[in-house]
Amino acid sequence: MPRILTGIQSTGTPHLGNILGAILPGIKLSNNTRNESLFFIADLHSLTQIKNSEQVRRNTFSVAAAWIALGFDYKNGYLYKQSDIPEVCELTWYLSCFTPYPMLANAHSFKDKSDRLHEVNTGLFVYPVLMASDILLYDADIVPIGKDQKQHLEITRDVALTFNRIYGDTFVVPQASFSENVMAVPGTDGQKMSKSYNNYIDIFEDEKAMKKRVMSIVTDSKGVAEPKDPDQCIVFKLYSLVADKNNTEELRKKYFAGNFGYGSAKNELFGLLLEKFRNERKNFNELMSDTGMIEKILKEGAMKVRNFATAVLQRVRGKLGYG
């Protein structure tokens, strides 16, 4: 049974980019009954950025709630938080001894900040090794991720192959799974949608705040009457990623025809998001009003996956001569 595994940091409520790029493709894979799914909240990773326990706890709940609200069947899969499985830290040490220093120095997550090294903590530097441990600790076969995580998966594979070459078959070498048409969901300013650029759309926010975000999407300065190119427009791009084909074609025609302003396009996008995610928004809010329930789900998930983790770790310790 192929094992699907993916994680999301507890750095905030997942936004539309996270949802389309990673969460929904992951849930789709998990709905295939031939797959076994492990989804977790990477709260140890988020410590590289957030030093506020209350915030981390709240974000952990909101990531879990988003996953469940968007349809992850946690009863048939496993939902847990990374910090409940301390074995991952032990494996991180072992793997770090098989990870060439230059490979980490070249990782985008670190390199992007190399001009501000005083702001970089060592945790951020070894971030990809912790991620490799997240994956290898559970013998994962397939890892659904957004394109920006591709390099981390390559590092994971590299480290697993190196270890296997020295000690014989130990780790399952995982494969990334990308959702081709949503490789990089644009944010309101046209850059990749990201929490760190503050250009995201949060579909779980209240209507007023969400509308404000949608209305702030950057467009060119064409007047209402002028025909417009849908393929150059972020509003259209976001609409097409969420809507079905027919509605997308309808909107495309309106762009070409003219007498259709960007304000109207934004209203259509806003209406679509509300309609498309109506149930998910309701479920999310219900879950967030009962965080005790989320806590229980996460604890149960951790109890189960810990068995996988201890078995793999025992295998690794044995190979290393610590068994």
Positions 132 through 191 that interact with ligand TRP (CB under 6 A)? 134-135, 143, 145, 149, 152
- For residues 225 and 259, the answer to whether their CB atoms sit within 8 Å is yes
Burial of 250 (0-12, 13-18, 19+ CB in 10 A): exposed
Residue 176 pairs in a beta bridge with 143
From 4, 9, 88, 262, residue interacting with ligand TRP (rule: CB under 6 A): 9
Judged by CB, which is closer to ligand TRP: 85, or 234?
Answer: 85
Binding of residue 192 to ligand TRP (CB under 6 A): no
Binding of residue 62 to ligand TRP (CB under 6 A): no
The least distance separating ligand TRP from the CB of residue 112, rounded to whole angstroms, comes to 13
**CA 280 to each of CA 20, 70, 187, 284, 296: distance values in angstroms, whole numbers, following the listed order:** 14, 6, 21, 6, 20
Judged by CB, which is closer to ligand ADP: 196, or 310?
Answer: 196
Partner whose footprint covers residue 42, from ligand ADP, ligand TRP, none (CB < 5 to 8 Å by kind) = ligand TRP
| Long-range CB contact pairs, 108-114, < 8 A, 24+ | 108/148, 108/151, 109/152
Longest dimension (CA), the chain: 74
Judged by CB, which is closer to ligand TRP: 148, or 295?
Answer: 148
The least distance separating ligand TRP from the CB of residue 6, rounded to whole angstroms, comes to 4
- For residues 184 and 22, the answer to whether their CB atoms sit within 8 Å is no
Partner whose footprint covers residue 135, from ligand TRP, ligand ADP, none (CB < 5 to 8 Å by kind) = ligand TRP
Judged by CB, which is closer to ligand TRP: 200, or 262?
Answer: 200
| Cα 73 to Cα 79: distance, rounded to the nearest angstrom | 9
Q: What is the 3-state secondary structure (H, E, C) of 86-155?
A: CHHHHHHHHHHCCCCHHHHHCCHHHHCCHHHHHHCCHHHHHHHHHHHHHHHCCCCCEEECCHHHHHHHHH
Catalogue the E-assigned strands of the chain.
3-9, 36-42, 78-81, 142-144, 175-177
The least distance separating ligand ADP from the CB of residue 210, rounded to whole angstroms, comes to 17
- Of residues 36, 55, 37, 33, the one with CA closest to residue 46: 55
The least distance separating ligand TRP from the CB of residue 40, rounded to whole angstroms, comes to 8
Stretch that binds ligand TRP, among 47-55, 111-119, 131-139, 314-322 (CB under 6 A): 131-139
The least distance separating ligand ADP from the CB of residue 278, rounded to whole angstroms, comes to 23
- For residues 151 and 14, the answer to whether their CB atoms sit within 8 Å is no
The least distance separating ligand ADP from the CB of residue 22, rounded to whole angstroms, comes to 4
Stretch that binds ligand TRP, among 96-104, 112-120, 127-135, 266-274 (CB under 6 A): 127-135
User: Which spans of this chain sit near ligand ADP (rule: CB under 6 A)?
Assistant: 8-9, 11, 17-18, 21-22, 145-146, 148-149, 182, 184-185, 192-196
Q: Which two tokens stand for residue 217?
A: 């999407």
Binding of residue 42 to ligand TRP (CB under 6 A): yes
Q: Which two tokens stand for residue 56?
A: 């981390």
Interface ranges with ligand TRP (CB under 6 A) = 5-9, 42, 45, 131, 134-135, 143, 145, 149, 152
